[in-house]
Amino acid sequence: MRVYLRDASNLGLGCINVHEFAISDVDENFVVDFPIQSGDCPRMGVDLSGLPPRPCVNQIYQVRGCNYGFAEVQDAYVDVHLDPRLLFQTSSIPGTALPGNTWRFDLGNMFSNQCRDFTVTYQLDCDVPAGQTICSEAVIYPDTICLAGTPWNGAQLLARAACVGDSVQLILKNNAQVPSPVLNYIIAEDIIMYRQDVFQIDAGDSVKFSMLANGATWHLRAEQEPGYPGDVFTNATIEGCGTDSSGNSTTGVFLQYPFSAGQFNHSRACQEATDSFKPNEIQGLPIGYGSTHLIQAGDEIEYQIQFQNTGTDTVHTVHVREFLPAGLDPTSVVPGAASHPYTFLLTQDGLLRFIIEYIDLPDSSSNPAGSIGYVSYRARTFTDIPNGSVISGAAEIHFDTLASISTDTVFHTVGEAFIPVVWTNTPIRRDLNLQIYPNPATHTVQFICDNCAGTKWQVELFDTIGRLRKTVPASGEQVELHCVDLPAGLYLFHILIDGHAAGVGKLIVK
């Protein structure tokens, strides 16, 4: 038998938290002593979650703030930063408006292992189209961490992204009083590696990367210091800042990337705006890159299991069950915010159970909005999980004594680098005078290279998972590429001159 000691805050303090032992009789009683380092400071955690936002519809964020430490907390509070496109409506507890579409909610004193829940009702702007990503954030205070017994020296990296005028600004800050060691970072433009390097930041300092606001989805990802008691990486992603030369911006890429800030007292809720609701399904965020949903070892996955009473009578009890997907660390499981109060269990065989009693869930015919609910949890992949490992999960939903409803399966694949590096061994020609029109394209697109005459050049077109879809050789200064047979979406084109890489860019097919 294997017994786990789960650290609900994901801030393990270095104790042995997995014990294995044999029993000879299934009815045998046994006692296991787990060593615990208590520490004298609080360890606060917060979770923000909700259903995908719908334009012009009042919807609810659920917020759960918890004290996972062993010390009582005085005057705890949560700041909820709403996406700029969300209009605050009301909340279940009093809140104070702050600048930047932010609201502060006082939780008062909190004992060890105590949680408090509240709701924030908002409305998404009516003119936001489906597919745009909406991101809100909750931060709980006090934000101190117990350092005793950890291998962590104290550096804490925070990634941020902002749209400032005609620039995208990606900011990496050392939010601590000690300098960071030398660590790695990457910047990606849509699905193309833009920059990969190392950094070292002094205490309290930051570095800023500025790029042209060209409508791309930009992503910054950096390592945390080894031993950091939280996520392995800090991430920031931004979409819809500016437009390209054709007045367009990229959507549908944001959620491929992890969006955890890498801070124990932060929670980000990022979802695409939608005009519909899908009942009885499971979502796993981030989605991951490409058709195999690639993520990296050490990434955290947040699962949301949605349900709806589509029957003809009121449901009184809902049970949601799922076996923890193989490849996820059981000691990192943290049950999150949910639409209704629940009891959570994680059994020795890895079964996750959410039990919602006295829910009195109306049927969808009599009360469509009230017939919906969800539960959520997050867990981290093992840092030593082999590349190629597939992490798949599916849940069962039980309404009272009715037959269970199974969700589809959601899966991720662990990979070494899920962002393709383009032309790392061959420099791009900076004198390339290339025109592409129309972009977006529907039937054909023209590539005109003014200084390619007299050369042997061609266009290669790839989809977002790296598959070569078309190769078109050029004649003279112009080549015409037919795209009427291509699925709508984002594509990458490569320009080769005399067999050498000369340029790379993006093409949108409508």
pLDDT reported for residue 12: 41
**Predicted confidence (pLDDT) at residue 239 exceeds the cutoff of 80:** yes
pLDDT number for residue 97: 97
pLDDT at residue 421 tops 90: no
Name the residue type at position 257. Y
Q: What is the pLDDT of residues 34-53, one digit of tens each?
A: 555 555 667 889 999 999 99
DSSP state of 293: T
Question: What is the residue-wise DSSP string for 53-74?
Answer: P-BT-EEEEEEEEEE-SSS-EE
Do residues 455 and 502 make contact, with C-beta atoms less than 8 angstroms apart? Answer: no
Is the confidence at residue 425, as pLDDT, over 60? no
**Cα-based distances in Å from 267 to 100, 158, 304:** 17, 13, 14
**Single-letter amino acid code for the residue at 240:** G
- Side-by-side strand order, sheet with 468-473: 468-473, 457-462, 489-497, 500-509
| CA separation for the pair 319, 343 (Å, rounded) | 10
Phi-psi region of 312 (alpha: psi -120 to 50; beta: other; left: phi over 0): alpha
Q: Enumerate the β-bridge partners of residue 489.
A: 509
The dihedral sign for the CA sequence 277, 280, 286, 287:
negative
Mean predicted confidence (pLDDT) in 206-222: 90
CATH placement of domain 280-421: 2.60.40.740
Give the H or E element holding residue 104: strand 102-110
CA-to-CA distance for 92 and 278, rounded, in angstroms?
26
Residue spans in the chain of domains classed CATH 2.60.40.740: 280-421
The stretch 121-133 carries a mean pLDDT of 93
Q: Parallel, antiparallel, or unpaired: how do β-strands 192-199 and 233-238 relate?
A: unpaired
Q: How far apart are the first and last CA of the chain?
A: 56
pLDDT of residue 30: 56
Higher pLDDT, 290 or 287: 287
Buried b (16+ CB within 10 A) or exposed e, 369-380: eebbbbbbbbbb
The pTM for the full model equals 0.77
How many residues does the structure list for the chain? Answer: 510
The percent of residues above 70 in pLDDT, for the chain, comes to 86
Q: Look up the CATH architecture of domain 434-509.
A: Sandwich (2.60)
Taking only the tens place, the pLDDT of each residue in 145-166 is 666 566 788 888 999 999 999 9
Using an 8 Å Cβ cutoff, are 183 and 222 in contact? yes
Residue 274: pLDDT above 70?
yes
Range with top average pLDDT, 195-199, 316-320, 491-495: 316-320
> Sign (positive/negative) of CA torsion 5, 6, 12, 18?
positive
- Return the SS3 of 418: coil
pLDDT of residue 135: 93
Residue span(s) of the chain under CATH 2.60.40.10 come to: 434-509
Distance CA 238, CA 254 (A): 7
pLDDT in tens, 382-393: 989 999 999 999
